[in-house]
Every structure is written in C-alpha cells, then in structure tokens.
Amino acid sequence: MAPPTFEALVKKERSRLDTERKNVANKITGLQKQLSEIDRQLKAVNAYDQAKKGTPKKRSTAPRKRTSRRADILKTLKNHPEGLARADILTLLTLKGDKSAEKSVSNALNNMKKAKKIKSKDGKYLPA
C-alpha cells in the first residue's frame, strides 16, 4: 500500500480542524445563551431589590456644570476677531459630529445675529 499523499494529509487535517471549529462554535453559542439567561435573571433580581427598597435608581447626584451655548460662542468669537465660520466654531467647541449640538449652535448663531450681538460677513461670524 502506497503512503498517503501530501494533499490527502492536508485534506484530512482541514476536515479535522473544521469539525473541531464547529464543535467550539457550538460550545460558544451555548455559553452565550447561558450568559444571557444569567444576565436576565440578575436584572430581574436587581429590579426586585430596587422595588423592595421603594426608591427608583437615581442618576448622578453631582451637579452638572451648565454654561450658556451663546456665551460659549460669543467668547470663542471674541478670541478670534478675524471671524469664524460655523464649522470652525463647532470644531473649537468640540461639537463637530453631534447633530443636536450642531443644531443648537446654528440656532444660537441666528438668534445672536437677530439680537445684533454678532454679525456675519463673507460666511464668517464676528463679534458685534
């Protein structure tokens, strides 16, 4: 009988590894289901404990520093007397990409312009 060819050995090893991989993947799936069930049970226990205490979970009790969007914009414009485009203001205030904050800046710019606290020239906003 002739010894097995290299290709046959590779094919056999690939088959063995595929089977082993499937077995491990099945174990992982089973463990993930088990973990999800444990998480669900923990959540239920925590909810029961919270209801028994009669007090809802509180968010952070530390006071948040709240600054006016308009004040931040005005301060930024005063630091750049040459004027800034809206995109530059967003970048300097580190708000780029936050849709809600970008809208807030646009609204503040329009309101400050109407109140004549700032002016715009050539697409740039300047302090009045």
- Per-residue model confidence as pLDDT tens for the chain (128 residues): 788 899 999 999 999 999 999 999 999 999 999 999 999 999 999 888 888 887 655 555 556 555 688 888 999 999 988 999 999 999 998 888 889 889 999 999 999 999 999 999 998 999 98
Residue 28 phi/psi, 5° resolution? -60, -45
The domain limits of the chain are 1-53, 69-127
The pLDDT value given to residue 118? 92
The pLDDT value given to residue 67? 64
The pLDDT value given to residue 30? 94
Helix-then-strand count for the chain, H and E: 4, 2
The pLDDT value given to residue 12? 96
Cβ contact 70:108 at 8 Å: yes
Fold (CATH) for 69-127: Arc Repressor Mutant, subunit A (1.10.10)
